[in-house]
């Protein structure tokens, strides 16, 4: 085979499947036969806005950074870290490759991602999948990695109470990882009933989004120890600040529709809050693989939709309508 199917974004809502030559392996890289790709909230920003933050679509781009596949030369099944860090800048030297100043990230800017049949990527980003894990499981290791990183930032202790505001895939994974990390009571909010049901199934006390008073009442007005905002909406940020205790911690994991996040500064100041932002993940794949392999974190129930690569436009439309939870494209 000398050509492959490739899905490229040409503009707002304009994703097309093309026939293109197979990619050549760049120096130090290996060819991967892509098995499955998840559609992430950041992909939906690209699809709906042809941008994300200050990154703009300059030329047709292959999206997709949650993926798993098979190394063409060896036949090894792998989950793939979508970030290639330089290893030399100050953040890298300090152990923060997720903050690399010259990073390459699949499906972002000018770096083509995984919504195609074959791609070339660095073997340093490959993580072998145990036989019991499917390609879908491998896809879900990336959002699970983000959830693990968010919980790492929170430094949870046994007996803590938390709030999770936004119950998409990452929010639902944060609920599971936080429970394993010692959180004994978890409050969650969302606007979609099927996502609220999923959070309830994972042991959270669930309320309709943005009603801070019910959570304050449930905590005897004390508030939660840590609030995770995972919706990408200012209303969820407000709920996080209003429901976290004085001196508490707010973790912002959602990506806002526009470049700015706004909240009441006086609330944060008077409570003496600490606010941290989640930037992707770091050093999480081995832990994520172990958690899923041992059945300690459920990723399979979060995968609700599958589409072939030839129907990628339908996949984006379903994800944009927030149908189900996780949409996966099979390549």
Which pLDDT score, from 0 to 100, does residue 25 have? 78
Q: Which residues contact 61 (CB under 8 A, 6 or more apart)?
A: 8, 9, 46, 107, 109, 110, 112, 113
The answer, yes or no, to whether residue 24 has pLDDT greater than 90, is: no
Confidence tier at 1 by pLDDT (50, 70, 90): low
The residue that leads in pLDDT, 268 or 1, is 268
Structure tokens at 153: 């930032």
CATH class of 145-277: alpha beta
Burial class (CB in 10 A: 0-12, 13-18, 19+), 127: middle
Position 54 scores a pLDDT of 85
| Phi–psi pair at 153, nearest 5 degrees | -65, -25
261-314 per-position pLDDT tens digit? 999 999 999 999 999 999 999 999 999 999 999 999 999 999 999 999 999 999
Give the chain's mean pLDDT: 96
Give the predicted TM-score (pTM) of the model. Answer: 0.96
User: Where in the chain are all domains bearing CATH 3.90.180.10?
Assistant: 3-128+299-330
Residues of the chain with CATH 3.40.50.720: 145-277
Where does the pLDDT of residue 26 fall: very low under 50, low under 70, confident under 90, or very high at 90 and above?
A: confident
Q: What digits encode the pLDDT tens for the residues 68-87?
A: 999 999 999 999 999 999 99
Long-range Cβ contact pairs of 201-210 (< 8 A, separation 24 or more) = 201/301, 202/172, 202/175, 202/176, 202/298, 203/175, 203/179, 204/164, 204/175, 206/167, 209/165, 209/166, 209/235, 209/236, 209/239, 210/235, 210/236, 210/238, 210/239
pLDDT in tens, 95-137: 999 999 999 999 999 999 999 999 999 999 999 999 999 999 9
Query: Which CATH class for the 3-128+299-330 domain?
Result: alpha beta
């Amino acid at each position: 085979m000398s050509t492959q199917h490739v899905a490229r974004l040409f503009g707002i809502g304009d994703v097309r499947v093309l026939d293109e030559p197979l990619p050549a392996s760049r120096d130090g890289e290996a060819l991967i036969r892509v098995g499955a790709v998840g559609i992430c909230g950041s992909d939906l920003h690209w699809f709906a806005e042809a941008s994300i933050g200050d990154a703009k679509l300059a030329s047709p781009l292959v999206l997709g950074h949650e993926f798993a596949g098979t190394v063409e030369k060896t036949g090894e099944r792998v989950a793939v870290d979508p970030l290639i860090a330089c290893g030399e800048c100050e953040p890298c030297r300090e152990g923060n490759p997720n903050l690399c100043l010259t990073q390459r990230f699949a499906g972002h800017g000018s770096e083509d991602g995984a919504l195609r049949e074959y791609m070339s990527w660095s073997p340093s980003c490959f993580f072998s999948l145990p036989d019991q894990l499917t390609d879908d499981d491998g896809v879900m290791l990336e959002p699970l990695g983000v959830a693990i990183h968010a919980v790492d930032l929170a430094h949870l202790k046994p007996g803590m109470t938390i709030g999770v505001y936004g119950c998409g895939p990452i929010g639902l994974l944060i609920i599971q990882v936080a429970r394993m990390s010692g959180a004994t009571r978890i409050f969650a909010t969302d606007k979609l009933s099927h996502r609220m049901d999923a959070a309830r199934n994972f042991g959270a006390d669930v309320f309709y989004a943005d009603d801070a008073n019910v959570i304050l009442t449930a905590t005897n007005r004390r508030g939660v120890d840590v609030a995770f905002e995972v919706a990408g909406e200012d209303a969820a940020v407000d709920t996080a600040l209003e429901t976290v205790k004085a001196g508490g911690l707010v973790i912002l994991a959602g990506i806002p529709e526009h470049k700015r996040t706004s909240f009441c500064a006086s609330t944060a100041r008077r409570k003496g809050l600490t606010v941290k932002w989640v930037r992707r993940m770091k050093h999480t794949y081995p832990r994520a693989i172990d958690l899923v392999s041992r059945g300690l974190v459920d990723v399979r129930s979060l995968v609700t939709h599958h589409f072939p690569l030839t129907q990628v436009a339908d996949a984006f439309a379903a994800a944009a309508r927030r149908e189900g939870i996780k949409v996966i494209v099979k390549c």
